[in-house]
Structures are given as structure tokens and as C-alpha cells.
């Protein structure tokens, strides 16, 4: 009887294991995110004409006492996904979450605040370069850098220029999408009656409003107050002036402008 009892116990244990109790996996072949696709799905998408890929760059940086460190990464992934969906023939690479944020020792810029992670500009550029080279090798011919932070822009531009010069005789092109960041959002919020001081230039009404619309769990509503440069808080502007409706409009502007620029560059870069 013991073998029967033992086999029954093993069967019961296996049936109660976490893996066996999970719901069946759901296919993600319609996703625009590389991370959610299998290699054969990516291969088939490229063969079917999906030859544009977006490389989103974010950053792990302080955003004042009211906003989570992963703000840029969350926002740029969402917006890159929207851009790809609207293009209809694009996929999205994983977010580059490690970007230049200041000197480490002695600390400067965002590195003065706990949790920020910084890398040298040349390391960031190398990551972009080899990500682009990898994606070109697989058959993508339009590679778009979409950066959600100011410190990312110059590296994106320089890498795009260098690779386009190298690849001039090929069909592949790299695009630094300049219209996306900082975009028209700040000026538009000012046009709605919010002062430039309240809008601010870092972790103010722009990003706070976007997260209010998309993911308010990343905000600390009880810590929202005015901030200014060098006051030790880490943000400038008054996030308390933010609204989810502002955020929705800002996101729409950024996505629309990026889509239009990518479409234009796919044509003009080959003339």
C-alpha cells in the first residue's frame, strides 16, 4: 500500500504547486512590445512589413518627494506603445532605464538624491549604438530613439548621426525623435492659465499630470507642494496644479508629434 500512498501524495503535491495552479498562458502575438513576443513572432512580423522599431529611453532618477523614481520609464513605455500602435507597422524595444543623471563622486545633478542611478554618457551611447546594430541585424530598417528625459537627447542625436553616416549606402536609418521631448505640453499648460513658475522644469505639472491620468499610484498626493531649484526637494514647479485632464492632453500631443515625425523621417531620410 505504501507505493500507492506515496504516488497519491506526489500527485496531490504537484497539483497544488504554483505552476499548476496558474491560469493557462495567454498568447501575446498581437503585442507591440518585443519583451512580450517570441523570436518567431518577431521574425514573422518583420517579414510581414513591421520594419520600424522604437527604442525608448527613460531614466531612474529622483522626481521630488511626490513622484516615484521610475516615472520616465513608465511614461515612455506607455507612450512608445501608443506610438507603435498608431504607426501600425512598428514594435517597441525594452526601455533603456539607465541613462546619464550626473556625476557619481562627487555627486551632481540628480545623483545628489537617493535612488538615482547614473551612467557615463559614452556608456549610454554605446548601449544605444549596439541596440540599434542588433535590431538592424534582424531586419528592422527604421530605428527610432524616443527619449523621455533631457539628458538623453544629445546621446540619441549623436548615435543616430553616426550610424546614419555609416549606413548611408544601406536601407537602414536611425531617427532621433526631437519633437517628442520636451514637446508642446508645458506651453499648452501655460496657455490654460497655469503660470510658468508653477509648471516648472522638473517633476512639475507636466509629468505629474501625466501620471495622474495614467497611474496615480506612482504619486504621493500628500507631498505635493511648490519646489524650486536648490531648495533640497528635487523638483521645480508646483505639482499641486496638475490635473488628469492636463495629463491626457499632454500625452496625446507627445504621441501625435512623435508619430508624425517618424512618418516624415522614414521618407525624408532616404532622399
| Residue 258 near residue 79, CB atoms below 8 Å | yes
Q: What percent of the chain shows pLDDT beyond 90?
A: 88
Whether 104 is in a domain gets the answer yes
Stretch 42-46: mean pLDDT = 97
Write b or e for each residue in 90-114: b if 16 or more Cβ atoms lie within 10 A of its Cβ, otherwise e.
bbbbebbbbbbbbeeeeeeebbebe
Whether 32 is in a domain gets the answer yes
Residue from 125, 122, 149, 128 nearest 60 by CA = 149
The C-alpha cell at 218 is: 506612482
Stretch 9-34: mean pLDDT = 56
Q: Is the dihedral of CA 133, 137, 138, 144 positive or negative?
A: positive
Whether 243 is in a domain gets the answer no
Residue from 266, 108, 246, 74 nearest 172 by CA = 266
Stretch 36-40: mean pLDDT = 97
Q: What percent of the chain shows pLDDT beyond 70?
A: 90
Q: Domain total for the chain?
A: 1
Q: Which 3 state secondary structure label does DSSP give 172?
A: coil
- pLDDT per position as a tens digit, 65-94: 999 999 999 999 999 999 999 999 999 999
Report residue 108's pLDDT band, with 50, 70 and 90 as the boundaries: very high
Whether 221 is in a domain gets the answer no
Whether 166 is in a domain gets the answer yes
| Residue 29 near residue 45, CB atoms below 8 Å | no
Residue from 5, 21, 12, 62 nearest 233 by CA = 62
**Euclidean distance between CA atoms 32 and 54, whole angstroms:** 10
Whether 220 is in a domain gets the answer no
Domain span including residue 130? 28-183+253-266
> 159 to each of 76, 131, 164, 165, 169, how far by Cα in Å?
19, 11, 8, 10, 17
The reported pLDDT for the residue numbered 16 is 44
Whether 93 is in a domain gets the answer yes
The DSSP 8-state label assigned to residue 118 in this structure reads: B
- pLDDT per position as a tens digit, 178-223: 999 999 999 999 999 999 999 999 999 999 999 999 999 999 999 9
Whether 100 is in a domain gets the answer yes
The reported pLDDT for the residue numbered 26 is 53
**Euclidean distance between CA atoms 211 and 68, whole angstroms:** 10
Whether residue 59 is predicted with pLDDT greater than 90 in this model: the reply is yes
- pLDDT per position as a tens digit, 139-176: 999 999 999 999 999 999 999 999 999 999 999 999 99
The CATH number of whichever domain residue 127 belongs to comes to 3.40.50.10310
The reported pLDDT for the residue numbered 2 is 46
Residue 149 main-chain phi, psi, to 5 deg:
-135, 150
Amino acid at each position: 500500500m505504501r507505493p500507492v500512498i506515496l504516488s497519491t501524495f506526489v500527485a496531490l503535491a504537484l497539483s497544488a504547486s504554483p505552476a499548476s495552479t496558474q491560469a493557462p498562458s495567454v498568447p501575446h502575438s498581437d503585442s507591440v512590445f518585443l519583451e512580450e513576443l517570441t523570436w518567431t513572432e518577431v521574425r514573422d512580423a518583420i517579414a510581414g512589413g513591421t520594419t520600424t522599431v522604437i527604442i525608448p529611453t527613460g531614466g531612474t532618477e529622483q522626481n521630488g518627494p511626490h513622484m516615484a523614481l521610475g516615472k520616465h520609464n513608465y511614461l515612455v513605455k506607455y507612450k512608445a506603445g501608443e506610438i507603435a500602435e498608431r504607426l501600425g507597422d512598428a514594435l517597441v524595444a525594452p526601455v533603456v532605464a539607465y541613462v546619464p543623471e550626473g556625476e557619481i563622486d562627487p555627486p551632481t545633478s540628480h545623483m545628489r538624491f537617493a535612488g538615482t542611478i547614473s551612467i557615463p554618457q559614452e556608456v549610454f551611447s554605446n548601449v544605444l549604438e549596439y541596440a540599434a546594430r542588433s535590431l538592424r541585424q534582424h531586419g528592422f530598417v527604421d530605428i527610432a530613439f524616443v527619449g523621455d528625459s533631457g539628458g538623453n537627447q544629445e546621446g540619441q542625436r549623436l548615435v543616430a548621426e553616426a550610424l546614419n553616416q555609416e549606413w548611408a549606402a544601406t536601407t537602414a536609418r536611425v531617427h532621433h525623435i526631437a519633437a517628442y521631448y520636451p514637446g508642446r505640453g508645458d506651453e499648452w499648460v501655460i496657455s490654460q492659465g497655469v503660470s510658468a513658475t508653477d509648471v516648472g522644469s522638473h517633476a512639475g505639472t507636466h509629468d505629474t499630470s501625466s501620471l495622474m491620468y495614467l497611474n496615480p499610484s506612482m504619486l504621493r498626493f500628500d507631498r505635493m507642494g511648490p519646489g524650486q531649484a536648490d531648495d533640497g526637494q528635487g523638483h521645480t514647479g508646483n505639482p499641486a496644479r496638475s490635473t488628469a485632464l492636463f495629463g491626457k492632453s499632454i500625452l496625446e500631443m507627445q504621441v501625435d508629434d512623435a508619430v508624425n515625425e517618424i512618418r516624415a523621417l522614414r521618407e525624408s531620410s532616404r532622399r
